[in-house]
Amino acid sequence: MDLSSLFSLQDKVAIITGASRGIGFSIAHFFAAAGAKVVINGRKEDYLMEAANKLRDKGYEVAGVACNIGYQEERQVLVKQTVEKYGQIDILVNNAAASPVFGPIQETDMGAFDKILDVNLKAPYELSKLSFPYLRQSSNASIINISSIGAISPERGLGLYSVSKSALLSLTKVFAKEWGEYSIRVNAICPGLIKTRFSEALWSNEKIKEKFLSDLPLKRIGEEGEIGAMALFLASKASSYTTGAVFTSDGGFAV
């Protein structure tokens, strides 16, 4: 059995949002190493180009498109530039997320709620639709939505973020059910506490970290590469009969 071909993404074209650092960058690294042509997205062009150059220096095919996917017109730019450069889209990873507030839900204003929904829910919805004409032409089309363990058990201080990630799981199942006839697989990953800059407010606070780890079976914070590896499985033929699934990578938090 040739396992290398089972996990190969040779010549596949992948879009990964929020990929200038953290989980998104890790996914981009795994995909590029597996042979994909990777388009990474981020809001800040300098960070994005730095990330793209790190991967290009390893000999990988990587392009960066700087735009804010919280805005509809910029989502269109991301898809348009990807197709102009590579002619196709085979994989879409909706990883970018916004969490502009940390505190009691009653103190979250509507402006913050709108931003959370625009990035965490509307962007995956619209990017999936914009990519649909190309995904249905692929021999192994895959959409991977990066949700959160907060979608399953809401995180204190991150109430509306958790709500948006829960809705993303429902959206994943809707797309999986409706687009299965086009051989487009749609799955979700729910990371637990992963050591990234995005989650630094949690793991850098010793009191919060100790409380979190005390209830965690594996007793450690997760690493970015552990999400990248799972995303590679979901993007590859290794998961060819998997759609509408929700995978937790959380150290046993949801047990």
Q: Just list the catalytic residues.
A: 161
Please tell me the distance from the alpha carbon of residue 235 to that of residue 243, in angstroms, as a whole number: 11
d(C-alpha 171, C-alpha 130), whole Å = 15
Query: For residues 240 and 142, what is the distance between their CA atoms, to the nearest angstrom?
Result: 9
Structure tokens at 96: 């970018």
Q: How many residues does the chain have?
A: 255
Q: What is the DSSP string of 52-119?
A: HHHHHTTT--EEEEE--TTSHHHHHHHHHHHHHHHS---EEEE--------B-GGG--HHHHHHHHII
By CB atoms closer than 10 A (0-12, 13-18, 19+), residue 206 is exposed
Q: Alpha-carbon distance 22 to 6, whole Å?
A: 26
